Structure 1
Amino acid sequence: MTGTLIQPTIIKNILTGVLLCILIIALIYIMPLIGVFAWMVLPLPVLFYRLKTGRNASGVIIVASLTMLIVFTQNFAFNTLYFGSLLMTGFFLGEFIEKHLSVEKIMLYTCFAVLGTCAAVLFIYSLIYAQGIDNLISNYISRYHALSSQLFSESAQLYPEMNVDRQMLEKASSLFVLIFPSIFINSYLTMVWLNIILIKKVLFKKGIIVKSIENLNQWKAPDYLVFGVIALSIFIFLPIYTLKIIAINCLIILMFVYFFQGIAVASFFFQKKRWPFALRFFFYTLIAIQPLFMFLVIGFGLFDTWINFRKLDTAM
């Protein structure tokens, strides 16, 4: 009797999860501008139903969603792998949140798990279609480089009155491609962090508190990362081109880690001083659109390693 009651509920949850995933993917395809924000919440349905219904049901949601994507787009390539990685992000986030790991471990393990799964899929794909992984990746990077160059060129054509130097645009395009790995990783980390915040709020409304993700505004990066910042800053000035590019990308990623810490510091004081939502929203919007405020937040996060603003405030 219990089984017959539980079974329809699980099926309903699976169908709802698949529907939500497909709607978000469709929104990304149909409305690209809104899709920029929609892709960040794509892992959320899988994450929610992973915690609610378990491992098997959430796995079915992922497989069913990707199958429908392949059927509708008639394309089994990087797009499928891309959306699959986002859905798997929700799955692995649920796995590690359920284990009550620390926030750093939840994010780090999720990144490695998704990366490992994608690498395995690429390896199997290359074996089936007799094409090396290096060729697949190089072709994708070449297409991306051509697309970014075209974007910069079109920008110059749209604004001829600005007398934009085409050579400068080409250099900017090349630089953007070189730091693309760090930009991609930072955007992925942002998505993971956002989904942790959202699932925390969803669980809180249902009366469920997960201690490992409860006090995110008290999060602090490990102290030893400061030595990484110092070392990478030195590597940038070395006359070895490859090492310099790697150092720049790693430094950008570390700065983003301190950006998270700076946001945690700001959020801590917002909560302590009970700032209204409108004022918080205005502040976060300024951070998103104004680079100066972003660098200021990074500075707060970095110096919090030594000064520990939140501890000083508590002591007062």
Structure 2
Amino acid sequence: MSDQIPTKSIVEGAFLAAITAVIFIISIYIPLLGTLVSFLCPLPIIILCLRHSLKFAIISTFISGILVSMLAGPWQGIMVLLGFGILGLTLGFVIKNDFSLTDIIMVGSVASLLSKGLILLIGFWFLNINPVLFDVEEIDRVITQSLNFYNGMGLSPEQFSSMKESLTQTINIVRIAFPGMIILASIFDTIINYWVARLVLKRFGYKLSNFTSFSKWRASKSFFWSYFLGVILIFLGAKYNLPLLSKIGVNIQLFFSVVFLIYGLSLTGFILERFKIKNFLKWVIYILVCFQPLLSQIATWAAMLDIWIDFRKLITAKEE
């Protein structure tokens, strides 16, 4: 009798499984809101891990997948199990076992990457869907339509050729850098899900470790040398005609370029705080830096220099 699950726990598990299914359905059918709501999908699973056993949470996750399969189709059910189930169960397990914040993000990122890899494999091998090429082919189709539209507006042959070459290069970079983009997506996915879980669980009495203030983030020297390694691999791949080496280098360089951009935004935030800029205007500046290529490059370079110079220390010393 001692191994029997209490009725209250069964009811709570069923309720949270249903909540997970409902959240996922909303994320499918409501475009903009759905993207934001999707970050809540692992939350009920995390709560189940914290309040009950991992085994109980796994059972409830499978129930969520079955509910979504009945309502939206088997592929969506697989997405719940793999896309959100693995990450939710992993985050719930590491949080419950008091892992450090760094370990939580690392383990969660690996779990998120594993889930995305499984989804790609299932789509390719069992459902005859290639999610990687499908997205790129769709982009190719849109680009072709766009070029035809601009061509109809009377672009000169030189302008049309230049635009086509630029867009083609962009697509080629997407194809080559897809592994790096997946890794970045896995890390961001884990960070955002943990951040949302921390805010929500705080109201239920759970105290989760908080991130260091964003304006204090600084890159380590190992990041710089990793970025430099990517540059070297690209150079060697081009010189000795080794495409695989070049592709690895491009992915490393892309990954750490984004990392340095984030640290550059952190440095920007530190400077804005010194001028007492309001939060709304801060976010406007962040968005402007991200989407303006010149400002993005300046922020990236500034983060690299900050490793060796420590601009925060210089600014603080000057103020004192």
Does the alignment reach a TM-score above 0.5? Answer: yes
Pair 1:94–1:5, CA change in 2 (3 A): closer
| Aligned counterpart, 1:14 | 13
2:82 to 61, 84, 89: 84
| Aligned counterpart, 2:31 | 32
| Aligned counterpart, 1:215 | 212
Pair 1:270–1:101, CA change in 2 (3 A): farther
Contact 2:24–2:80 at 8 Å: present in 1 too?
A: no
| Aligned counterpart, 1:258 | 260
| Cα deviation digits, residues 76-95 of structure 1 (max 9, x gap) | 48x82476223322221232
Q: Aligned partners of 1:19 and 1:276: how far apart in 2?
A: 40
1:59 aligns with 2:58: yes
Instruction: Point out the more displaced range, 51-60 or 231-240.
Output: 51-60
| Aligned counterpart, 1:177 | 175
* Length, aligned pairs only: 304
Q: TM-score, normalised by structure 2?
A: 0.74
Instruction: Point out the more displaced range, 263-272 or 213-222.
Output: 263-272
Pair 1:38–1:183, CA change in 2 (3 A): farther
Pair 1:73–1:295, CA change in 2 (3 A): same
Q: Aligned partners of 1:31 and 1:162: how far apart in 2?
A: 38
Instruction: Point out the more displaced range, 277-286 or 65-74.
Output: 277-286
Contact 2:49–2:96 at 8 Å: present in 1 too?
A: no
Contact 2:176–2:250 at 8 Å: present in 1 too?
A: no
| Aligned counterpart, 2:280 | 278
2:190 to 189, 192, 196: 192
Contact 2:120–2:130 at 8 Å: present in 1 too?
A: no
Please state whether the residue corresponding to 2:221 is helix, strand or coil: coil
Contact 2:25–2:68 at 8 Å: present in 1 too?
A: no
Contact 2:82–2:115 at 8 Å: present in 1 too?
A: no
Instruction: Point out the more displaced range, 145-154 or 265-274.
Output: 265-274
1:96 to 84, 90, 94: 94
Pair 1:261–1:137, CA change in 2 (3 A): farther
Letter in 2 for 1:154: Q
Letter in 1 for 2:212: N
Contact 1:263–1:297 at 8 Å: present in 2 too?
A: yes
Q: TM-score, normalised by structure 1?
A: 0.75
| Aligned counterpart, 2:70 | 71
Question: What's the CA shift for 1:248?
Answer: 0.7
Question: What's the CA shift for 1:253?
Answer: 1.1
Question: What's the CA shift for 1:16?
Answer: 4.3
Please state whether the residue corresponding to 2:235 is helix, strand or coil: coil
Question: What's the CA shift for 1:243?
Answer: 0.9
1:232 to 230, 233, 241: 230
Structure 1: runs of 5+ lacking an equivalent: 127-131
Pair 1:274–1:4, CA change in 2 (3 A): farther
Q: Aligned partners of 1:82 and 1:151: how far apart in 2?
A: 29
1:161 to 153, 160, 170: 153
Question: What's the CA shift for 1:233?
Answer: 1.2
Pair 1:60–1:138, CA change in 2 (3 A): closer
1:249 to 248, 251, 257: 251
Larger Rg: 2
Instruction: Point out the more displaced range, 259-268 or 241-250.
Output: 259-268
| Cα deviation digits, residues 118-154 of structure 1 (max 9, x gap) | 667888x79xxxxx96x98994444334223222223
Letter in 2 for 1:195: N
Letter in 1 for 2:280: A
| Aligned counterpart, 2:309 | 307
Question: What's the CA shift for 1:252?
Answer: 1.0
| Aligned counterpart, 1:129 | none
Pair 1:122–1:200, CA change in 2 (3 A): closer
Instruction: Point out the more displaced range, 226-235 or 52-61.
Output: 52-61
Pair 1:65–1:311, CA change in 2 (3 A): farther
Please state whether the residue corresponding to 1:236 is helix, strand or coil: helix
Question: What's the CA shift for 1:205?
Answer: 4.4
Contact 1:107–1:189 at 8 Å: present in 2 too?
A: yes
Contact 2:112–2:186 at 8 Å: present in 1 too?
A: no
Question: What's the CA shift for 1:45?
Answer: 3.6
Pair 1:183–1:155, CA change in 2 (3 A): farther
Q: Aligned partners of 2:92 and 2:85: how far apart in 1?
A: 11
